A and B are shown apart, each in its own frame.
Chain A
Amino acid sequence: MITTDTLATREIALEHGLSPDEWEKIKETLGRKPNVTELGVFSAMWNEHCSYKSSRIHLKKFPTKGPHVLQGPGENAGVVDLGEGMAVAFKMESHNHPSFIEPYQGAATGVGGILRDIFTMGARPIALLDSLRFGAPEHPRTPYLVGGVVGGISGYGNCIGVPTVGGETKFHPCYNGNILVNVMCAGIMRSDAIFRGTASGVGNPVIYVGAPTGRDGIHGASMASAGFDDSALEKRPTVQVGDPFREKLLLEACLELMKRGAVVGIQDMGAAGLTSSSVEMAGRAGTGLLLRLDAVPCREEEMTPYEMMLSESQERMLLVAEKGREPEVREIFERWDLPMSVVGEVTGDGRLRATFGGDEVADLPVSSLTVDAPTYDRPRKPERGLPYDDPLLKLPEPEDMGSTLIKMLGHPNHGDKKPIWRQYDYNVRTNTLTPPGGDAAIIRLKGTNKALALTTDGNARYGMLDPYKGGMLAVAEAARNICCVGARPLAITNCLNFGNPERPAVMAQFSLSIEGMAQACRFLDLPVVSGNVSFYNETHEVDIYPTPIIGMVGLLDDIQKRSGHGFVSENDAIALIHPKDEAPLPKTCAHEYVWLETGQEGGDAPPISLDAEKAVQTACRRGIDMALVRSAHDLSEGGLGISLAESAIASPKSRLGVEVWLPEQEGRLDGLLYGEAASRILVSVSPHAVDSLQEAVQSCGAELTRIGRVQEGAFVVKSPDNVPLIDLAMPHIVAAWSGALSEVM
């Protein structure tokens, strides 16, 4: 008989963030009122973070299958085949709300969580990447948040010994009250040894391993399912504290145990802790679980069943082992000085039951918490948040384009991010072929001639201007980045950061953005194998710009055939790979330039043709594969001007500049220089190889236009009729770029 001495009420349910309808549905499902422990379980499983109740119907639009997909969404991470018996597991996750409240621990535990998602699959984590969004550089809280978040990622990732090899950091006032901290992890495994979060085999023991449970993080998942107001910082005590040392032990112990073959299923205790791990494992297997909460290792006294079920203490895992092999599990975890406790068993009744002190404290149908959890098709109403007019047209043409370039390079969005990534151990495990800062990170696979290419990418402004196109552009750009290093894009994960889904305008952004991403994914053959949704990114009812972040994995078949983004040699030709039916450069969409000059945003997101995009990407890979391309760098925010500067700065000792003529085409000169467009890749090539590259590019259905040459020392851009627009010494460029983050760090 279930304990009813602490019966829940409607008021308690509402306090837990459940709606009145959801409270009625719970009573109907159970045929009685739940007690508070049960209510806690419902509130944890039915909140947005765990149930995906507002997003689920939309996420179904993503293509998730492919011949190389070994595990799609629905598990702790997606898995893709790499050939030669190897596979890569990867996923990206957000830790936005906790990181805004307590940046160091919020970011650190974000890293801890995504690492567990990867080694839970049986993979050894080999790389971390981040994607960070902060408020305006001049906002008083920004330096504190940057320092804390970077410190947290550094503190956790470095300690556990997984290199942080790449990522991106951008600043925009729309994140003033709600920063984004997204972290991606990739791990390597044998393709025939994938572990899953399933609690199968009636009678098999359910085992708790890792750190003991405390009262930290109770309702963390609920926090991630509500917006911020002035009381946000009072939630600081609900942010968990990370212990990367313990996680390192857990990682080694789990991988060792998996090799023994005693593990039936395993899942990390992330958001909603013991509740979500047990429920999801039973849900996937179609079984039930009996948990004996007296056996849960606790580090605080007199913890109640409610607290044990909802604690989000870090560095814990739940696993189901083959019956009789408990001693093996115990032996390994004792060796690593980690608590291990048999806390229950798999049952065949499809129910989640928990006992404590001789009483049954919970008895719920598993399905009511998983497949039968509420889903909503929330109302959608597209709403234009920014003006249609292109603000470039109102901006007078600058008298000195050199100073505009210097100004852009000196902004934290475009300047040197080394003060950030220098705090990350990016080459531990000795596989990192390029330091952070390139188009994509390249991580070799020891024992093979192959390497992985990894990138994270997203552009919130495009999403705000046109969510559908913004979604397509995000996928296209990530793939372009992978191609710029010479690799073949394989699959994606994503982190969908949006505002409050209860507002129809946000739901419309979300839905359209997914449709755009899905369209690009189908076209470019990129299945979505894992992902994460983060709603309620709002402060005082103002939503962030829609910010879908793409994490992409590509494969480089021959490690020797790769490219960097820095110019290599004086007198090399500089050229643009672009769509064959379009002018080399766009003439509008100089969004970042206009914004930095005037603070205005508006107009349209850049146009994109997926046919042309595919051709350009293929052409770039072909050029690298034929060893014709010496450097490749895609055009993105800040257009040609910024890309040229970045390739020059990345040349040996930053000594190589350019002499470039803007191509003869319609449009304002500043529009041509800073206009943003999809499907453009800046390459350098030996002057003798230009014709061969031209032929190769054309054979892929794209076009190559020569625009200048690499020269020593000076950065010169001229108009088509040879009027100098920019003439700067490279040290001047480097100085502006390298000091850009000083304001925020």
Chain B
Amino acid sequence: MQFAVIVFPGSNCDHDCYHAVKDVLKQPVRFVWHKETSLGDAEVVILPGGFSYGDYLRAGAISRFSPIMRAVTAHAREGRPLLGICNGFQCLTESGLLPGALKRNESLRFVCDDVWLKCETSRTPFTCGIEPEEILKMTIAHGEGNYFCDSETLATLEENDQIVFRYVNAEGDVNPKSNPNGSMENIAGICNLQGNVVGLMPHPERSCDSLLGGEDGLRMFMSVVRKVVSS
């Protein structure tokens, strides 16, 4: 199954995504330069983390105008799997493929740490192999991960089962102490209405190796492989 990792100028988790898919998941993957206009035969598209265009103006605000984003948008509209990680998530909200916005962390500081996440829905291609309420451990590394949307949007997200992950403590409690960035309702990741487009601040590609402290992120990649193969 062909994966594509989009490379914007300033992407810096592109190699990590590539490594996770190719060397750990053992699936074919290629980089797609942001100036390209076609995704070729890619079945799964990943917008990686980093600082596209230096995050100048706002994180993700410029990368959404890259030529490849037309093809990425078409891919999403066709209902095919699209994952935005960290800066990729910011790019998805900036381009309107996901609702809401990511503000600066409440602390106004960059934060890199391991966090616990509760999976809220198994209906996306990236979480279909994870049970709801399951607790996963992943790394976060961002300065602008403070998810925000208006109350109507939040109600829609809740109603339509669009919240994918929340920050919790090791016991699974959603509380302010387990929230690393001040995000609304401890939201760590969401999906679109159809569920095929998922954005999250944590880095599943960094949690694919027990040597590095965990393999929980790998389950997101394994989920999408299972989903695409079975469909």
Q: Knowing A248-B9, A249-B9, say if A159 contacts B15 (CB, 8 Å).
A: no
Complex CA gap A421/B212 in Å reads: 17
Q: Knowing A423-B112, A446-B19, say if A428 contacts B141 (CB, 8 Å).
A: yes
Q: Knowing A430-B16, A433-B211, say if A159 contacts B9 (CB, 8 Å).
A: no
- Asked whether A245 lies within 8 Å of B141 as measured between CB atoms, the reply is no
B55 contacts partner chain A, Cβ-Cβ < 8 Å: yes
**What residues of B have a CB within 8 angstroms of the CB of A155 in the complex?**
110
Q: Knowing A159-B55, A243-B54, say if A425 contacts B110 (CB, 8 Å).
A: yes
Complex CA gap A432/B203 in Å reads: 14
Cβ of A210 to closest chain B Cβ, rounded Å: 14
**Residues 152-189 of chain B: 1 if any A CB is under 8 Å from the residue's CB, otherwise 0?**
00000000000000000000000000000000000000
B12 contacts partner chain A, Cβ-Cβ < 8 Å: yes
A182 contacts partner chain B, Cβ-Cβ < 8 Å: no
Cβ of A551 to closest chain B Cβ, rounded Å: 22
- Asked whether B205 lies within 8 Å of A159 as measured between CB atoms, the reply is no
- Asked whether A422 lies within 8 Å of B111 as measured between CB atoms, the reply is yes
- Asked whether A158 lies within 8 Å of B141 as measured between CB atoms, the reply is yes
**What residues of B have a CB within 8 angstroms of the CB of A151 in the complex?**
109
**What residues of A have a CB within 8 angstroms of the CB of B112 in the complex?**
158, 421-427
Least CB separation from A247: chain B residue: B54
- Asked whether B212 lies within 8 Å of A159 as measured between CB atoms, the reply is no
Pick the contact of A427: B23, B35, B110, B212 (CB < 8 A). B212
Q: Knowing A158-B141, A423-B109, A444-B211, say if A245 contacts B15 (CB, 8 Å).
A: no
Cβ of A144 to closest chain B Cβ, rounded Å: 15
Complex CA gap A429/B208 in Å reads: 12
Complex CA gap A248/B205 in Å reads: 21
**What residues of A have a CB within 8 angstroms of the CB of B56 in the complex?**
245
B134 contacts partner chain A, Cβ-Cβ < 8 Å: no
Pick the contact of B205: A422, A430, A559 (CB < 8 A). A430
A160 contacts partner chain B, Cβ-Cβ < 8 Å: yes
Cβ of A616 to closest chain B Cβ, rounded Å: 29
Cβ of B5 to closest chain A Cβ, rounded Å: 14
- Asked whether A337 lies within 8 Å of B110 as measured between CB atoms, the reply is no
Tell me which of A246, A336, A425 has the highest count of chain B C-beta atoms within 10 A of its own C-beta: A425
**What residues of A have a CB within 8 angstroms of the CB of B13 in the complex?**
161, 428
A40 contacts partner chain B, Cβ-Cβ < 8 Å: no
**What residues of B have a CB within 8 angstroms of the CB of A423 in the complex?**
109-112
B93 contacts partner chain A, Cβ-Cβ < 8 Å: no
**What residues of A have a CB within 8 angstroms of the CB of B50 in the complex?**
161
B116 contacts partner chain A, Cβ-Cβ < 8 Å: no
**Residues 401-424 of chain A: 1 if any B CB is under 8 Å from the residue's CB, otherwise 0?**
000000000000000000001111
Within 8 A of A (CB), among B28-80: 35, 49-51, 53-56
Cβ of A352 to closest chain B Cβ, rounded Å: 34
Complex CA gap A559/B10 in Å reads: 31
B133 contacts partner chain A, Cβ-Cβ < 8 Å: no
B139 contacts partner chain A, Cβ-Cβ < 8 Å: yes
- Asked whether B12 lies within 8 Å of A428 as measured between CB atoms, the reply is yes
Least CB separation from A252: chain B residue: B9
Complex CA gap A159/B205 in Å reads: 18
Cβ of A696 to closest chain B Cβ, rounded Å: 26
Pick the contact of B141: A160, A249, A425, A444 (CB < 8 A). A425
Within 8 A of A (CB), among B112-151: 112-113, 139, 141, 143
Cβ of A520 to closest chain B Cβ, rounded Å: 33
B104 contacts partner chain A, Cβ-Cβ < 8 Å: no
Least CB separation from B113: chain A residue: A422
Cβ of A366 to closest chain B Cβ, rounded Å: 37
Complex CA gap A428/B19 in Å reads: 12
Pick the contact of B9: A243, A245, A426, A432 (CB < 8 A). A245
B206 contacts partner chain A, Cβ-Cβ < 8 Å: yes
**Residues 119-133 of chain A: 1 if any B CB is under 8 Å from the residue's CB, otherwise 0?**
000000000000000
Within 8 A of B (CB), among A231-271: 243-246, 248-249
Q: Knowing A245-B53, A423-B110, A427-B206, say if A161 contacts B212 (CB, 8 Å).
A: no
- Asked whether B51 lies within 8 Å of A244 as measured between CB atoms, the reply is yes
A631 contacts partner chain B, Cβ-Cβ < 8 Å: no
A105 contacts partner chain B, Cβ-Cβ < 8 Å: no
- Asked whether B9 lies within 8 Å of A430 as measured between CB atoms, the reply is no
**Residues 424-451 of chain A: 1 if any B CB is under 8 Å from the residue's CB, otherwise 0?**
1111111111000000000010100000
Least CB separation from B170: chain A residue: A653
- Asked whether B110 lies within 8 Å of A154 as measured between CB atoms, the reply is yes
Complex CA gap A580/B23 in Å reads: 48
- Asked whether A559 lies within 8 Å of B141 as measured between CB atoms, the reply is no
Tell me which of B19, B53, B139, B209 has the highest count of chain A C-beta atoms within 10 A of its own C-beta: B139
Cβ of A115 to closest chain B Cβ, rounded Å: 13
**What residues of B have a CB within 8 angstroms of the CB of A430 in the complex?**
16, 19-20, 205-206, 208-209, 212
Least CB separation from A425: chain B residue: B141
**What residues of B have a CB within 8 angstroms of the CB of A559 in the complex?**
211
- Asked whether B12 lies within 8 Å of A248 as measured between CB atoms, the reply is yes
Complex CA gap A306/B175 in Å reads: 60
**What residues of B have a CB within 8 angstroms of the CB of A246 in the complex?**
54
**What residues of B have a CB within 8 angstroms of the CB of A432 in the complex?**
212
**Residues 183-216 of chain B: 1 if any A CB is under 8 Å from the residue's CB, otherwise 0?**
0000000000000000000000110110110000
- Asked whether A248 lies within 8 Å of B10 as measured between CB atoms, the reply is yes
Complex CA gap A459/B51 in Å reads: 36
Complex CA gap A425/B139 in Å reads: 10
Complex CA gap A159/B110 in Å reads: 11
Complex CA gap A159/B55 in Å reads: 9
Cβ of B44 to closest chain A Cβ, rounded Å: 19
Cβ of A264 to closest chain B Cβ, rounded Å: 27
Least CB separation from B111: chain A residue: A422
**What residues of B have a CB within 8 angstroms of the CB of A158 in the complex?**
51, 110, 112, 141, 143
Complex CA gap A400/B206 in Å reads: 46
Least CB separation from A154: chain B residue: B110
20 A-B pairs in the complex with CB atoms less than 8 angstroms apart: A159-B55, A160-B12, A160-B51, A161-B12, A161-B13, A248-B12, A248-B54, A421-B112, A425-B141, A427-B112, A428-B141, A430-B16, A430-B20, A430-B205, A430-B206, A430-B208, A430-B209, A433-B212, A444-B211, A446-B23
Point out residues on B near A: beta carbons under 8 Å.
9-10, 12-13, 15-16, 19-20, 23, 35, 49-51, 53-56, 109-113, 139, 141, 143, 205-206, 208-209, 211-212
| Known contacts A423-B110, A427-B212; 4 further A-B pairs (Cβ under 8 A) | A158-B51, A245-B54, A424-B112, A446-B23
